[in-house]
Structure 1
Amino acid sequence: MSNLPALAVAAVVSMITMSVAVPAAPRTGVAPTPTVDAEQPLLSIAIDNGRTSAAAGDELTYKITIRNLGTTEAKGLEISQSLPAGLTFAAADNGGTADADRVVWPTDLKTGQEATFTTVARLGQTPDELLRLATVACATADGAEKPLVCATHSDLLPAGAVATRTEEKAVTPWMRYGAAAAALAVLALVTTVLLRRRRRRLLAARPEAGTGRHLARASVAD
């Protein structure tokens, strides 16, 4: 019984929160993802271009950072970055070479060593249905089929920006006010129920008190 006010408050907070929530854009940054196989190099990798959105005609500079977190040297690594549709390779440092869909660098990393690789690319026209421009950076051991570690970065494209604004507009002020009013109505209903129950308990206790006073008066009269 005593938990009802707390539940009511929780319901109000939940309803108001849902009424003002707006879908968030996918996260563009990435945290390092180290490997866990003791027989393989322990690496972390990240990629970023210092932006959160892009449009046709932009020149994008991506920086890949890779670090050897293990206790042994990582030899014969291949660092790669994907080139998604619409992104055209322009230049790369440290001897990076590009083919149709990626840029590649060969490297070795000593224990505790960190290396960076930079790509410059230009963004052309992208498919109308493409909302974000995503690129993936990976480190692969020599001769391996699967990468040891990967990271991603994505930028919001014009189509994605339009979609985000549409989602935000879908949550109108009237929807917020309506949800808040409904939440207050729930709180008022719960409060009314509690007051009525308390009143019934008080009324049920009054006859006993009245009987006691009557007996006391009768005793004095005698």
Structure 2
Amino acid sequence: MVFRDSCVRRAGRISRAHAAAAIALLAAQSWSGTAHASVTPKPKPSPKPPALNIAIDNGHTSVRQGDRLTYTIKIANTGAAATPVLRVFQALVPGLELISSTPAGTVTAKNIEWNKSLAAGEKAEFNVTAEVGELEAQLQRLTVVACAADKSSERSIVCAAHSDRVPAAGGPVQSQVPGTSASEWYIAVGGLGLLVATGVFVGWRLRRRKPARAPMAP
């Protein structure tokens, strides 16, 4: 009887030990899951970039050394909210010498730039006057790029480019009548020359056909 009571007490102690171990294990797992959730924050959604339009133009299709050009940059906020502070800039390409800008911009080694925030629906314009200097011998087109970037991240949002043809150095300059192509001009000149030659030939034939005048009687 004493032996049985001892076994019962011992079994009770073992059961209680197992229960305590199970409770401790569950608590550790619960704490581990809570700690893991606290150190893994949810990723924040990327902010949507502002809705912008940009364009650049200088009113030319071809340029030569010595030409003075005015580039006009137009930018518009087409969204429903104001933009952050923007960095609007125009690239200063080799061979293009900066003269002035309106409004006055900040000149760096590669760009001329302005800081501007646009309200919803607002438009802005920037003008850059430059002179075409000495260009590379093999350059066929002079291309200038303008962009708008988020000033806080330096990430470009929109860009636009304007490209002008660069005629070959020393090439002939062809004068054309406005509204006519080169081939039409050559055809017109050739036709005029043919008409003149035909008129000379006809006049010469008529002179040869005139009868000789009879001598006058004394």
Q: Once the two structures are superposed, what CA deviation does each residue of 1:125-182 show, in whole Å capped at 9, x if it has no partner?
A: 11011100000000001122330000000111123996xx9xx99xxxxxxxxxxxxx
Identify which of structures 1 and 2 has the higher relative contact order when contacts are C-alpha pairs closer than 8 Å and 6+ apart: 1
1:107 aligned onto 2:140: no
Identity %: 39
Q: What is residue 50 of structure 1 aligned with on the other side?
A: 59
TM-score by length of 2: 0.55
Distance 1:115 1:51, change over 3 A: same
1:78 aligned onto 2:63: no
1:147 aligned onto 2:156: yes
- Which residue of the other structure, out of 123, 138, 143, is the alignment partner of 1:129? 138
2:168 alignment partner, SS class: helix
Q: What is residue 31 of structure 2 aligned with on the other side?
A: none
| Cα distance in 2 between the residues matched to 1:55 and 1:83 | 17
Cα distance, 1:42 vs structure 2: 0.4
Give the residue type in structure 2 aligned to 1:62: Y
| Cα distance in 1 between the residues matched to 2:169 and 2:79 | 39
Across the two proteins, how many residue pairs are aligned to each other?
Answer: 129
Which portions of structure 1, spanning 4 or more consecutive aligned residues, are displaced by more than 3 angstroms?
Answer: none
Contact 2:66 2:133 in 1 (8 A): yes
| Cα distance in 1 between the residues matched to 2:47 and 2:59 | 33
Give the residue type in structure 2 aligned to 1:133: L
Q: What is residue 10 of structure 2 aligned with on the other side?
A: none
Contact 1:92 1:120 in 2 (8 A): yes
Contact 1:132 1:160 in 2 (8 A): no
Give the residue type in structure 1 aligned to 2:79: G
- Which has a greater percent of helix? 1
Contact 1:80 1:104 in 2 (8 A): yes
Cα distance, 1:39 vs structure 2: 1.1
Cα distance, 1:75 vs structure 2: 2.3
Give structure 1 stretches of 5+ with no counterpart: 1-36, 170-222
Cα distance, 1:38 vs structure 2: 6.8
| Cα distance in 1 between the residues matched to 2:99 and 2:106 | 10
TM-score by length of 1: 0.54
2:148 alignment partner, SS class: strand
Q: What is residue 168 of structure 2 aligned with on the other side?
A: 159
Q: Once the two structures are superposed, what CA deviation does each residue of 1:43-79 show, in whole Å capped at 9, x if it has no partner?
A: 0000000110101001110000000011110121010
Give structure 2 stretches of 5+ with no counterpart: 1-45, 175-181, 184-218
Q: What is residue 39 of structure 2 aligned with on the other side?
A: none
1:66 alignment partner, SS class: strand
1:52 alignment partner, SS class: coil
Rg (Cα) greater in structure: 2
Contact 2:137 2:169 in 1 (8 A): no
Q: Once the two structures are superposed, what CA deviation does each residue of 1:14-42 show, in whole Å capped at 9, x if it has no partner?
A: xxxxxxxxxxxxxxxxxxxxxxx971110
Q: What aligned pairs does 1:135-214 form with structure 2 within 5 A after superposition?
A: 135-159=144-168
**CA RMSD across the alignment:** 2.4
Q: Once the two structures are superposed, what CA deviation does each residue of 1:169-196 show, in whole Å capped at 9, x if it has no partner?
A: 9xxxxxxxxxxxxxxxxxxxxxxxxxxx
Q: What is residue 211 of structure 1 aligned with on the other side?
A: none
